[in-house]
A and B are shown apart, each in its own frame.
Chain A
């Protein structure tokens, strides 16, 4: 094992650990923090199924954003969709052909879409970056980290694209490396510059995910204005700390 391969193997273990542990802790925190009052943004659904649909529309179509700003929606939605497609394409590097999902992942469409999604991703990210730079309102609310986040994602997209379209990497060896990580049977990592850049940036993304605004991904499911049912008159909604006040609120 080369030093490089060992280092990256360790890096990915650490990054994965941080990602999952960090996210789990955050999700537990959100779930445990009570929402003492009913605050859905109205009109809101009257049933849980309705709420699931509402959140579904937000997650899949970015409904509120669409209503809000068409350009931001276009760039944002394009980027996220592309990210999803690219993610599917990448699954084949971490799956053996006997996996039940293999037939799906290895489909020609998944692979082709995934391949070209990289361009949509870059377009979306550049659009978002342009907004951040040129719209004074957005520039005002942007911290250095907001730009760096976009640059990081752009870096991932460009390094990825360059491997698909410019300088091919030894895919077979890469897959061996990834499978090795999964089965604790470490293999060499192909030493190609774009791949190393790509992997470094991805690991960085995984590490900052649970401590950054990327928390919007799990967070949206916990947003009380979106996930509450409109039934305040019908059902008494009581958080534990609020329930405790019931006994001290007066003698009736």
Chain B
């Protein structure tokens, strides 16, 4: 399938011995000027890049406490060294969280600390050369910004923060990543990551309405740009076309239908994803987020509900209020934003949804905690709700549920391997390898508990697993959306057992 080996799944995940340079030069495609410029970055490597990069680093040190403090306080204890899925699967020491940080910390020390200015060799400080810049590009695009390292670091040092800053520095000197920057430019131009224009979106939604009608005989609507709707649904654009995402979208539609609320999608803000976060650009992240505020105001909605997406839920939950708030024009009785799982779980608790759980009896389901949901957000009103609520929803619609090994779920969850702006084919080796710890845990429950499906609430996780599962000889369609399970089990009011065709005939 490719010119690398898929890691073998052994009994236990073995912490490998380091292999220096194992993933050297495996960076993703570099952005062309046309991908860079719409984001306000120089088109190609600027002439005085060294000076520019150091200046930018200085600027970020003054703007982000995380960056400043994290660069100073690492004691090189090594506690994080075996916590990154990319290190476990590639053995490259620069994929150990602290190893990754050090590629940048060494330069920080050289230019910004007394010790590094006076005794560079002693404290591992080095000049910023072109080789170092290339190394940054390579290894900061081998970090999915999953924050697993930050859980286990005694000081909470979050390599994701360093990665974001590094990417921002790289962008500022003209060395951006094609995948992320091209996508952000598409959002600015068309409204979503896919570049899906309004007419195409409308067609898709109509097709889905038809599909649900054929299945159930119930006219469930998927409205677009409907002014005056109560709820604006912001969901990743993958939900409009990719499998299994789209089955999740049908699930949300059915839940809204049964809840009897009016809702709409916006063609202007038809994207929950916000890749501005991946590249560490506050300005770009804000620009993307502002589209949602504008859409909410234009449509005159009262609430915002957020679909299944990991990093997007992080931006929404943790950053929207800062970037695009205050949301005082929305109904204060509901959280802004509200996750679709919170929404569905509320209705389930109120007894407003009816399910035929046996519809999912052919499945034994496990749940993959997406890193951004798990380690950067919350659901509900208690810490850890982000773990319980999706599981509660699944258990409400499925009879067979098992968890994977404890050290691989909840806040210790392993990344799917494709987060953080790495979901691109030019990084396929990294993606396949990086999925190893998750595949390992999944394989175990498949063998021991007969698990047939893994549910997720993240568009990136779903796409990534669809792609990498076959490398591990697992069926690609075993990854499902949580609301796909909801969709399969929900009984719509007036639903026809045999489906819509019959209903039509009767009519």
Answer yes or no: do A and B interact.
Answer: yes
Provide the bound-state CA to CA distance between A45 and B384, in Å.
10
Provide the bound-state CA to CA distance between A43 and B100, in Å.
25
> A42-B383, A213-B76 known; A222 and B69 CB under 8 Å?
yes
Cross-chain contact A68 with B80 (CB below 8 angstroms): yes
Within 8 Å CB of A42, what residues of B?
374-378, 383, 386, 411
Within 8 Å CB of B63, what residues of A?
33-34, 36, 239, 241
Cross-chain contact B153 with A64 (CB below 8 angstroms): yes
Cross-chain contact B157 with A141 (CB below 8 angstroms): no
Would you give the shortest CB distance from A6 to chain B, in whole angstroms? 27
Cross-chain contact A145 with B286 (CB below 8 angstroms): no
Would you give the shortest CB distance from A40 to chain B, in whole angstroms? 8
Cross-chain contact A216 with B318 (CB below 8 angstroms): no
Provide the bound-state CA to CA distance between A46 and B380, in Å.
12
Chain A, 2-58, CB within 8 A of any chain B CB: 26, 29-30, 33-39, 41-46, 58
0/1 per residue, A222-252, Cβ < 8 Å to B? 1111100010110111110110010001101
Closest to A59 in B: B154
How many A-B Cβ pairs are below 8 Å? 220
Cross-chain contact A232 with B74 (CB below 8 angstroms): no
Cross-chain contact B61 with A236 (CB below 8 angstroms): no
Cross-chain contact A233 with B335 (CB below 8 angstroms): yes
Cross-chain contact B79 with A65 (CB below 8 angstroms): yes
Closest to B336 in A: A233
Chain A, 116-157, CB within 8 A of any chain B CB: 131-132, 135-138, 140-146, 148
Closest to A213 in B: B75
Provide the bound-state CA to CA distance between A58 and B93, in Å.
27
Nearest 6 CB-CB pairings of A with B: A143-B124, A219-B73, A43-B383, A225-B156, A138-B78, A68-B152
Cross-chain contact A220 with B147 (CB below 8 angstroms): no
Closest to A128 in B: B77
Within 8 Å CB of B153, what residues of A?
64, 68
Cross-chain contact B99 with A223 (CB below 8 angstroms): no
Chain B, 106-156, CB within 8 A of any chain A CB: 113-115, 119, 121-124, 147, 150-156
Would you give the shortest CB distance from A73 to chain B, in whole angstroms? 8
> A64-B156, A69-B78, A72-B79 known; A232 and B384 CB under 8 Å?
no
Q: Which of A42, A137, A144 has the most CB of B within 10 A?
A: A42
Would you give the shortest CB distance from A135 to chain B, in whole angstroms? 7
Within 8 Å CB of A34, what residues of B?
63-65
Judged by a CB distance under 8 angstroms, whether A186 is at the interface is no
Provide the bound-state CA to CA distance between A36 and B69, in Å.
14
Judged by a CB distance under 8 angstroms, whether B282 is at the interface is yes
Within 8 Å CB of A222, what residues of B?
65, 69
Closest to A62 in B: B154
Judged by a CB distance under 8 angstroms, whether A212 is at the interface is yes
Closest to A145 in B: B123
> A145-B123, A223-B73 known; A41 and B383 CB under 8 Å?
no
Within 8 Å CB of A211, what residues of B?
113-115
Per a CB cutoff under 8 Å, which of A29, A216, A236, A252 touches B155?
A: A216
Chain B, 194-220, CB within 8 A of any chain A CB: none
Within 8 Å CB of B123, what residues of A?
143-145, 212
Provide the bound-state CA to CA distance between A237 and B386, in Å.
21
Provide the bound-state CA to CA distance between A41 and B376, in Å.
6
9 A-B pairs within 8 Å (CB atoms) are namely A33-B69, A43-B378, A43-B411, A46-B383, A140-B93, A208-B115, A220-B73, A223-B157, A233-B335
Provide the bound-state CA to CA distance between A142 and B78, in Å.
9
Tell which of B228-236, B290-298, B493-501 binds the partner: B290-298
Q: Which of A141, A226, A238 has the most CB of B within 10 A?
A: A141
Closest to B386 in A: A42
Would you give the shortest CB distance from B40 to chain A, in whole angstroms? 13
> A29-B68, A137-B96 known; A249 and B384 CB under 8 Å?
no
Provide the bound-state CA to CA distance between A24 and B270, in Å.
49
Chain B, 340-377, CB within 8 A of any chain A CB: 374-377
